[in-house]
Structure 1
């Protein structure tokens, strides 16, 4: 049987595409790839990073430092696509350690054997060579695994009984057993290579006897084929695929839009807020739109024949899947997995923490990109989503969540302000920041991107019309790149100089896709590289390859500039997002051109209309500001005028079908309009650069802010209604006034005390401190929230403007998305201001509008390791009619005024 296997697989391997025959990872690129999988020695990772020049080739390598007790295994896993376990499969990796003993192997999974209690597929490790050259690099390898795998399989059958289903095993990871004794061990890993790869997906269409057959008749019969469903699962074969392989599925959070129109915008699927009915299922079948939705409470036989579009059941809609909801989610998942066969679907959710516990429940998970108003840098945004990817690894499919509109409460606040002062409703959407987040989310090579939305794109409002065009444009850019980014591997990015841009580099099948996104941002505002030059520093190897630029939806050939200091690629006036493709195969250009041509015309129309809307909107807003005599900045009408003329020149080019030229001119006009809009926001927000939350500014509604501008001045605001906000006595911190909540008490030590020294004003201030107990520092975001502080409530009438001020200073909070989140009960967390890196007292200001009579409290959340002092918290309402009248003039005296001083005295 083994001889038949070898010939069958060898024949199949000849037909496998060249790029699938080998996997090579230099292990130079962030994030680290290896994950601590299992151990019997209480292994704990102390540090996990890249060493810039510590590799076998003098370049970067991965370094893992592990602390272990007595045992035999501390298994580091490098996940790979499911491949057939044959003798021709080999792997080797360069290793260096001060101790001998590290050993390489393959992890083999058995998809149909799922022992209790985890219900995860059973696995075994087949080991190869060991590391014995202490203090220097040595390559260790593995091959010829069929015989040892057969022995492992026999042992499994002895453990689980003769009825154990051991069909169709597959290799899903290269592993290194890093255990080399008690204590701390540092291990360098470099240049992983896997050869002889035969993908399970390819074999699923062939008749191949399986090497792990035990000789039982039932196994012999079934081993002549690979189960198609199991073969399509990339990592954990006990689970069903939520998203198809080879794609980046684009999902819209559905709000009643016609599915045919959703499909026309480039979406593959929708996420519902309630179980689908027959009408929607029929529509989904006709339009070929997949559905992700909450499951019904019980199966409805009338719908059973219409379930084909349902790709997964979505759990946790409209609730935070945090650590307190794990048990409830587990009960829901068990109920869904007990449904009758036709109703069985994989499970999808979006946990906010406790990822490892949720991984045992879900087949795929969504990680939302940080709220753009938080002001995280590009590096921090990527670090947050890659941290999630490292936690999940290959145990579940991953999707990125990107907000496709302003936060719902920000929009509600802006609309309420507009109604209260008679201003027009907001009409624009800062879509560029959404675009950049979508491109940065590709850093983790997600299986899907879920575009969050709380309003219907088909509402007919100008804002939602803009959103639909922006989503259409972004979807087409992702679809154009899909063949080269779906399933790609992040590798070491190129060095960028000149214009401030973040670089992501994805490698797949000898094609590298380089994504460059502008770092010139402020909240949800973005600047393109208008007038600047972006330079990419190429390695000697890259400079010899063929380079294309796909930014304009054409495969434009670029030539590198060779200088005495090396080769570089220059891009003048780059777009907000740039796409560069590098390959040693010149024929790739033809495939790139074909893919780009499919989407170019619609992309050109969308971008031209979006740029036109932005230019027109910015011109009108500047005219309103000038007429209102707000601020002292002169309107940049030269920029706006040039942008308008450029768009006018682009219109005949679009009508002539010249998509390339249309896109070039549209993005040029777009860059000028973005710069004008940036200056407009500065004119309308005199509180900057202090941390400020002002709904019309955050929403990009300059027309509303122009009329609301008087509220940014000090006159017209009432006295302070926050009676305990001075925080001058320890009694102000008692439970009847300020309230405190703590989380993560098993991971962090935290305290909230009255500080009698170092206050901003008065004899005291509030001091809050959080420190991780374990060596592993706390994460950022909600997952790292340790302390929640709530002020006394102040009752405020309906339809009233509110201004909240506080003085804050911080120490620590050095990781991404850490700091003190300052927000209120009206705007909630999504409108909060993140404060960090402020060792001096910093004023924070929040503007709000009440929708109804309500009690308003101010909240402070500590996210991560750090310390904050809070003082002088005030809450005022807008009461210009109660402004004290000016002092009455004294009657003119008959006395002669001799000089100016006597006049002033009167």
Structure 2
């Protein structure tokens, strides 16, 4: 029997006091003897058995057009009969196929060694270490210069053999001489570090396979442990001593402005890519990359730990800038792709001067610290653009119910206003609004129900794909919670993000940098068509328009028909929805041609081209991501089917309705998932994806029906946290609050709005903004009220040449009610009657919200010429004053009347929701009994 593999560990190794640490820098050897008196840097060992997903090696570069055909793990193909990585490649004539395994930045010293076991049918693979020079940039990219020092080569074809490398300082000196000869004697070669173990896998033209197993790296001395402390300790002795030691390049200057370095990089996002960025909440960066992300957005300036992790994980970093440069971090700045200003504030018109001062400070920083500047302004784009290199535009909150046409119209409007002067990224929420989620959790805790477990990921998927119509350079997935919290909802978010990222990556070569064009005509199922043109390829992105807040339906049982012009009918079409290049054959009609898609998915991707050979490229792009995408979709569909079935059972047990559950839909969905599993295991990813998305569609329809059952208030505009978050299991227990019985009298004594005297500093108040651009007023109207002698009328009119925009940018007026003191752990219901005139542009209207849920949980009302009731449900977590706000967004008029704030005070005849008690013997405590004593009686 083979001995068990050791785990990855770090063994302590202390440099003896007075020992000289030699580092090859420009062929010079310098000593840390005096500085090490105050240091105890440790070296360690890295061991990776390479027998578990995900693969750690990746194709870094080649000079022979190398392409990875397959990259996977063999369960029993390793050196000891256990797992290993298998990479199969094709190549033309050349000399290099460099595979890289990133490691933390470590010093390039003789004590650093690496060994790995490989097996191939051909000899020639060589191991090496990649040494990077952080201050020397060889082109306009963000990548700094690097060299590879090679060790031994593989010579035992057909069987496993270990290849290794060590004693690299002498070889590195020769590389340094070559670098200076190529880039000039004044090249800045300070602070080199090793950031990867590499294998040159080139063995000749054609196809080749390489098995990699048992990687071990010893003598790791972290750059952040040594160089950072060294720089701090040496701050009083830099000057000429460091120049003589080679720490400062001959062309560098040390002056009042800091280190001077020649770089003029202003590209925030790589060209030819759609950079996928996750708002970071402490997740391991290697795991973030396995989900398909290219970068993370930090909430605070980066430190040495996360910079080293980013280098090792090949993840770019966007982060708030430091208050001042920290010399100990200079050599680790490689992954920083941009500085984000205004991360924790709302960048409106009042923050322009502050942002400009920050931008000037960043432009004046030492060149090695300079990076492109990003921000997410809410308005005044023309004033912010000159100080930025890239801008993030956040799409509206999905639960607010903004129409897809309005969403895209405003996005394109922003794109038109900023033009090509800066890069544009779109922001998409990857979770329910934080306040809504907290409210749903507070409700669940108050009634003893399980916390929300589901996430309506389809609406996020649709919004992300729809945003591609503006050809963004990046998509920022907003997140306020860690994906690794262990909660079921976070697991679903992780799988959903993985699936969405892989779909974007699949079409990235043809969508990045494309030009938006007029869409094709659509018949049948209500879908929106986005059309992107790049070269000979056209990408059609079809997204479902059947939505209700954050809920969507896929096709809703109807077929989708694309109407083609005669010129389009002669082109070749491929459907990429199932991560395969499925050929579509148009049907000739009297008008031209048509293509019918039966049972369309929530998002359909079709590529059209006059070049039939494009199909092979599309197939290769899809195959790269198909297996993981199929697994993600199958698991997501399975979770939704199970969750929907459980929610219907909870609703039935709670005696909410006599409506029978749609068991036929759920039964067919369950069977489809059962049939998809063997297809996936057999490698039939296209077929398994088809089955999974059909099950998904049936489960969405079942969940849609359940929401209708649990919301008797509809179709009135309503904000209910549990429904907004998709927590129907909580809503089923909270359902008694949806009825009128059990609520107190109106606590807002001035809510009738029947007197002009109510508009007072101590009563109803209002505030204005954009006074130089719009006229606004709040008046008391004696006629046209819903009830009583009067109502409030609010108006906003643009005085500029162009009309007011929508959203926060067009917010002109806010009306606020007096506060009502509400006890902790109390359910609150807010009602109001409103009517609107005007508001014809996207995201315009009157936003009704309260100080508990905030604007993100507000209800947007427009196009209501008759009195319309608006209702908000809330839960207090502490004793607080509750106020109701009304904000006018855009040009228009709104009337407000009969505002009420009530609390849940049921009588004995109306029992409040009862906690769900676990059944004895239940391991999870989440089973639901239909016995009368476990349900509430109405």
Q: Could you say whether these structures have the same fold, taking a TM-score greater than 0.5 normalized by the shorter chain as the test?
A: yes
Matches of 2:646 and 2:909, distance apart in 1: 33
What displacement does 1:631 show?
Answer: 2.4
**2: distance between equivalents of 1:669 and 1:689?**
28
Kindly indicate whether residue 726 of structure 2 is the aligned counterpart of residue 675 of structure 1.
no
- Show the counterpart of 1:582: 608
User: Of 584, 587, 609, which aligns to 1:558?
Assistant: 584
**Counterpart of 2:23?**
none
> Which residue of 798, 818, 827 corresponds with 1:792?
818
1:234-277 deviation per Cα after TM superposition (whole angstroms, max 9, x unaligned): xxx98700001000000000000000000000000000000111
Match of residue 621 from structure 1: 647
1:539 Cα deviation from its structure 2 partner: 1.1
What are the residue-to-residue correspondences of 1:30-179 with 2, within 5 Å?
none
How many Å apart are 1:338 and its aligned residue? Answer: 1.2
Are 1:726 and 2:752 matched, yes or no? yes
The residue aligned with 2:502 is: 476
Looking at structure 2, the residues matched to 723 and 675 of structure 1 have their Cα atoms a distance apart, in angstroms, of 43
Q: Tell me which residue corresponds to 1:899.
A: none
Matched, 1:532 2:597: no
Please give the residue correspondences for 1:775-854 in structure 2 after superposition, counting only pairs within 5 Å: 775-854=801-880
Task: In structure 1, list runs of 5 or more residues that go unmatched.
Answer: 1-236, 886-906
- Provide, for residues 716-745 of structure 1, a one-character-per-residue CA deviation record: whole Å limited to 9, x for no partner: 111111011100000011222111011111
Q: CA deviation at 1:774?
A: 2.1
Q: Which residue number corresponds to residue 58 of structure 2?
A: none
**Counterparts of 2:630 and 2:538, CA distance in 1:** 25
Contact 2:753 2:792 in 1 (8 A): yes
Deviations 1:331-387 (A, max 9, x none): 111111111111111101100000001001110000011111111111111111111
User: Match of 1:643?
Assistant: 669
Mapped partners of 1:397, 1:610: distance in 2? 33
* Contact 2:565/2:591 (<8 A) preserved: no
The answer on 1:269 being equivalent to 2:324 is: no
**1:311 maps to which of 330, 337, 343:** 337
Contact 2:742-2:910 within 8 A present in 1 as well: no
Q: Secondary structure at the match of 1:261?
A: helix
CA contact 1:239–1:363 (8 Å) conserved in 2: no
TM-superposed CA distance for 1:564, in Å, is 1.8
SS in 2 for 1:680: helix
Q: CA deviation digits over 1:368-409, x for unaligned, max 9?
A: 111111111111111111111011101110000000000000
Distance 1:554 1:731 in 2: 68
Say if 2:621 is the partner of 1:595. yes
Instruction: Identify unmatched segments of 5+ residues in structure 2.
Output: 1-262, 912-938
Report the Cα distance in structure 1 between the residues aligned to 2:617 and 2:820, rounded to whole angstroms: 63
Matching residue within 684, 688, 697 for 1:662: 688
Equivalences for 1:598-613 in 2 at 5 Å? 598-613=624-639
Match of 1:517 among 529, 532, 543: 543
1:260 aligns with 2:286: yes
Q: Which residue of 2 aligns with 1:897?
A: none
Structure 1 residues 857, 650: closer, same or farther in 2, change over 3 A?
same
Task: Tell me whether 1:337 sits opposite 2:370 in the alignment.
Answer: no
State the alpha-carbon separation in 1 of the partners of residues 608 and 833 from structure 2. Answer: 50
Is the 1:796–1:856 Cα contact (8 Å) retained in structure 2?
A: yes
Secondary structure of 2:646's counterpart equals helix
Question: Structure 1 residue 632: deviation in Å?
Answer: 3.4
Q: 1:397-436 alignment to 2 at 5 Å?
A: 397-436=423-462
Looking at structure 2, the residues matched to 781 and 238 of structure 1 have their Cα atoms a distance apart, in angstroms, of: 36
Q: How far 1:881 sits from its partner (Å)?
A: 4.2
User: In the superposition, relative to structure 1, how do residues 683 and 884 fare at CA in structure 2: closer, same or farther (>3 Å)?
Assistant: closer
Q: Which moved more, 1:805-814 or 1:559-568?
A: 559-568
For residue 353 of structure 2, what is the aligned residue in structure 1? 327
**Runs of 4+ deviating beyond 2 Å:** 881-885
TM-score (norm 2): 0.69
Aligned partners of 1:729, 1:750: CA distance in 2, in Å?
A: 20
1:568-587 alpha-carbon deviations (Å, 9 max, x no partner) = 11100000000010000001
- Residue number in structure 2 paired with 1:377: 403
Question: 1:775 deviation in Å?
Answer: 3.0
Q: Residue in 2 aligned with 1:454?
A: 480
Aligned position for 1:393: 419
Q: Distance in 2 between matches of 1:816 and 1:631?
A: 38
> Shift of residue 509 of structure 1?
1.1
For residues 515 and 265 of structure 2, what CA distance do their matches in structure 1 show? 22
Indicate yes or no: 2:717 matched with 1:691. Answer: yes
SS at 1:252's partner residue? strand
Whether contact under 8 Å (2:525, 2:556) holds in the other structure is no
CA separation in 2, counterparts of 1:518 and 1:238? 43
CA contact 2:265–2:371 (8 Å) conserved in 1: no
3-state SS of 2:657 partner: coil
Q: Is the 8 A contact 1:632 1:683 kept in 2?
A: no
**CA distance 1:339–1:608, shift in 2 (3 Å):** same
> How far is 1:884 from its partner?
11
Partner Cα distance (2:600, 2:313) in 1:
37
Cα 1:494–1:844 change in 2 (3 A) is: same
> Which residue does 1:507 correspond to in 2?
533
Secondary structure, counterpart of 1:744 in structure 2: coil
Matched-pair contact (CA < 8 Å) for 1:444–1:490: yes
**CA apart distance, 1:764:** 0.4
Distance in 2 separating the partners of 1:833 and 1:420: 24
The whole-number CA distance in structure 2 between the counterparts of 1:349 and 1:664 is 40
Q: What secondary structure is seen at the aligned counterpart in 1 of 2:703?
A: helix
Query: Per the alignment, in what secondary structure is the counterpart of residue 725 of structure 1?
Result: coil
Aligned Cα root-mean-square deviation (Å):
1.2
User: CA separation of 1:259/1:750 partners in 2, compared to 1, >3 Å: closer, same or farther?
Assistant: same
Q: 1:569 aligns with which of 595, 607, 613?
A: 595
SS of the equivalent of 2:555 reads coil
Q: Tell me the distance in 2 between the aligned counterparts of 1:239 and 1:386.
A: 27
SS at match of 2:276: strand
Distance 2:848 2:485 in 1: 33
Distance 1:610 1:320 in 2: 35
Q: Tell me if the contact between 2:285 and 2:309 (Cα under 8 Å) persists in the aligned partners.
A: yes
Alpha-carbon distance in structure 1 between the residues aligned to 2:800 and 2:578: 49
2: CA distance between counterparts of 1:426 and 1:843?
28
Q: CA deviation at 1:566?
A: 2.1
Matched position secondary structure for 2:629: helix
Change (3 A) 1:483 1:783: same
- Say which SS state the counterpart of residue 873 (structure 1) adopts: strand
- In the alignment, which residue of structure 2 is the partner of 1:153? none
2: distance between equivalents of 1:634 and 1:565? 45
Q: How many residues align?
A: 649
CA distance in 2, matches of 1:857, 1:694: 17
Q: For 2:741 and 2:595, how far apart are their aligned partners in 1?
A: 54
Q: Quote how far apart the aligned CAs of 1:883 are.
A: 7.9
C-alpha separation in 2, matches of 1:452 and 1:817: 20
Determine the C-alpha separation between the residues in 2 that align with 1:560 and 1:829: 47
Q: State whether residues 255 and 454 of structure 1, in contact with CA within 8 Å, keep that contact through their aligned partners in structure 2.
A: yes
CA distance in 2, matches of 1:788, 1:402: 26
What CA distance in whole angstroms lies between the structure 1 residues aligned with 2:662 and 2:910?
39
